[in-house]
Amino acid sequence: MTVALSSLHLTPAKTAGEDNFPVGSWLLPAAIRPKVHAFYRFARAADDIADDPVLSPEQKLVRLFALDPALLGRGAPYARRLIAAFKCDAVRNRTPDWQDLLDYCTLSAVPVGRFLLDLHGEGEAAHGPCDSLCVALQVLNHIQDLGSDRARLNRVYLPLDWLAEAGTSVDAIDDCATGPQLRQVIDRALDQVDLLMVEAARLPRVARNLRLRIEAVVVLFIARRLSRKLRHSDPLTTAAAKRNRHDHMACTFCGMIRGLMGR
């Protein structure tokens, strides 16, 4: 049995307006925006199921199984991979190591980028940098939401082996501020994000579609800005890492200029 998204009663974890990165923005061609928005609504509904602090793991799985990716047509294969990620979220709340986190992001973030590439008719040359960008964005979101994920869901995406190597544990996230050991782990994750961003930076150069190229540059600007803020602020105690309207406007303007120049 499948259900309509509107029939689900959930405790939303995040709304579209709270996302750090543009979703189906006006930079994308008008013809594909409805498809992107429909895909986003499906993903958000599934994510809200997995992140509902009231539902049990069993209840989450039942609701996730009830969602029908086939309703998205061309986006169905990508939506199925997202559902697989949300099923993982429903039944577990720890990340053993960095490779495990990468594997999770391959299910939870990469399909979104691949769907956009598909809609724009992009080839395999864009896959690698787009995958890296999506994974980097996901890790940045996990770091930014470190405290709220722990408090609401007892979920921690930082690798457990890194925490152990730094001489700390997930309990450090419950402190009022980030201590030096936890900071070490966060910075180590940001170092990996920086490496991913090196590969991701190729996307505007290999993307054939001009609007997609501009969108990619905008997202790269926003991601780099958020990464810098997370390095110089405490994700447990401040909202300074949150993107504001002026950040987005500045990044959009710079992204348009660089995208038009093909850089």
Q: Evaluate if residue 100 carries a pLDDT over 90.
A: yes
Query: Cα separations (Å) of 85 from 14, 54, 166?
Result: 17, 19, 28
Between residues 246 and 110, the one the model is more confident about: 110
Query: Cα separations (Å) of 258 from 45, 73, 262?
Result: 34, 33, 6
Q: pLDDT tens for residues 151-200?
A: 999 999 999 999 999 999 999 999 888 999 999 999 999 999 999 999 99
Q: 167 phi and psi, to 5 degrees?
A: 80, 30
**Least confident stretch, 88-92, 178-182, 216-220:** 216-220
Predicted local distance difference test score (pLDDT) of residue 33: 85
Q: How far is residue 68's CA from residue 70's CA, in Å, rounded to a whole number?
A: 5
Predicted local distance difference test score (pLDDT) of residue 238: 65
Domain coordinates in residue numbering, the chain: 28-92
Q: pLDDT tens for residues 4-42?
A: 343 333 334 444 444 544 444 556 778 888 898 899 999
Predicted local distance difference test score (pLDDT) of residue 260: 43
Token pair 């996730």 in the structure block, residue:
64
CA 89 to chain centre: 14
For the whole model, what pTM was predicted? 0.83
Q: Report yes or no: 204 and 258 within 8 Å, Cβ to Cβ.
A: yes
Predicted local distance difference test score (pLDDT) of residue 204: 94
Q: Evaluate if residue 243 carries a pLDDT over 60.
A: no
The token pair at 81 is 């991979």
Query: Cα separations (Å) of 58 from 79, 84, 104?
Result: 21, 15, 20
Contacts of 26 (CB under 8 A, 6+ apart): 33
**Mean pLDDT of the region 248-252:** 47
Q: Evaluate if residue 144 carries a pLDDT over 70.
A: yes
Mean residue pLDDT across the chain: 84
Burial class (CB in 10 A: 0-12, 13-18, 19+), 25: middle
**Mean pLDDT of the region 49-78:** 95
